[in-house]
Amino acid sequence: MAILTEENVSAKKKKTVHLIIERQDNPNSKPYTQEFEVDYIPGMNVIACLMAIQRNPITKDGKETAPVVWEMNCLEEICGICMMVINGKPRQACTALVDQLEQPIRLRPARTFPVVRDLVIDRGRMFDALKKVKAWVPIDGTYDLGPGPRMPEKDRQWAYELSRCFTCGACLEACPNVNDRQSFLGPFVFPQVRLFNTHPTGAMHKEDRLQAFMGEGGMHQCGNAQNCVEVCPKGIPITTAIAAVNRQATYYAIGAWLKK
């Protein structure tokens, strides 16, 4: 019969978190996996696990290693840079709570993007896409234009939902049409085109945006898989934006054809 001691009780109560992390030392090296085990803290998220590994970079089998590299900033699902694939789903590490995840928790970088190191990725393609479709309101600031035009309240409400995109990249990682075989700009572009085409000032360049988005890598490469809606952390109505932009492009194309 085992003797119940204070040490035995403490060991029995101690909970740990088991993580399997896919790592990569540099953009050109091969990925590999390492397992870690960290002490459990009630309410902890994936970021807390990574910070524990950073403080004590020892693998589960007791070997010293380099700390895992990742990105974080706001820790409240606003900046988007902590997006990674957690248990097979692209999501924000700051809001991924350990208590709601199946263990072992598997982490890997979003490989739709170039990997810089470990869980750090290069989202440059997203900003290039925004430049291509001119996702901004063109005000040069050389002189005072006075107060900007006001949007009707009914338009402002749904436009605000589109503006919540923080370019985390989860929708691109989940989209089957974003890959190295084609140049699709990604689902996040549809809401941005709709948003700026609706803005009273941005609408002046509506045709330019539609022309750009009807070109290489644009709307015709969307397969309507709707994975983007499933993973968007902000619940942005991407499919509604897809339908609206497709309708705008159809009217624009018919009008351009009739003018010939």
Distance from C-alpha of 145 to C-alpha of 200, rounded to nearest angstrom: 14
* pLDDT value for 155: 87
115 and 130 co-located in one domain? no
Residue 42 contacts residue 14 (beta carbons within 8 Å): no
User: What is the pLDDT at residue 257?
Assistant: 83
Select from 115, 259, 131, 108 the least CA-distant residue to 193. 131
16 Rama class: left (phi>0) / alpha (psi -120 to 50) / beta: beta
What's the pLDDT at 1?
46
Instruction: Write down the pLDDT at residue 227.
Output: 96
Give the domain-ending residue among 74, 100, 121: 121
In a domain, 7, yes or no: no
* Same domain? 130 vs 254: yes
Residue 9 pLDDT: 45
Q: What is the CATH number of the domain that holds 232?
A: 1.10.1060.10
Range of the domain at 170: 124-258
Residue 20 lies in a domain: yes
**pLDDT at residue 145, rounded to an integer:** 72
Domain boundary among 85, 101, 121: 121
At residue 205, the 3 state secondary structure works out as: helix
Residue 218: per-residue pLDDT: 92
The tens place of each residue's pLDDT in the chain, 260 residues long, gives: 455 555 554 555 689 999 999 999 999 999 999 999 999 999 999 999 999 999 999 999 999 999 999 999 999 999 999 999 999 999 999 999 999 999 999 999 999 999 999 999 999 999 999 999 999 887 777 777 777 788 888 888 899 999 999 999 999 999 999 998 889 999 999 999 999 999 888 898 999 999 999 999 999 999 999 999 999 999 999 999 999 999 999 998 888 888 87
In a domain, 8, yes or no: no
Residue 94 in domain? yes
pTM of the entire structure? 0.88
Residue 115's beta-bridge partner residues? 121
Q: What pLDDT, on a 0 to 100 scale, did the predictor assign at position 63?
A: 96
Q: Tell me which amino acid residue 178 is.
A: V
Q: What is the per-residue pLDDT for 137?
A: 84
Give the type of residue at 76.
E
Q: How far apart are CA 203 and CA 132, in angstroms?
A: 16
Q: Are 234 and 176 contained in the same domain?
A: yes
Same domain assignment for residues 77 and 149: no
Distance CA 72, CA 124 (A): 17
Angle 55-59-62 from CA coordinates, rounded to 5°:
105
Q: Is the dihedral of CA 78, 82, 86, 90 positive or negative?
A: positive
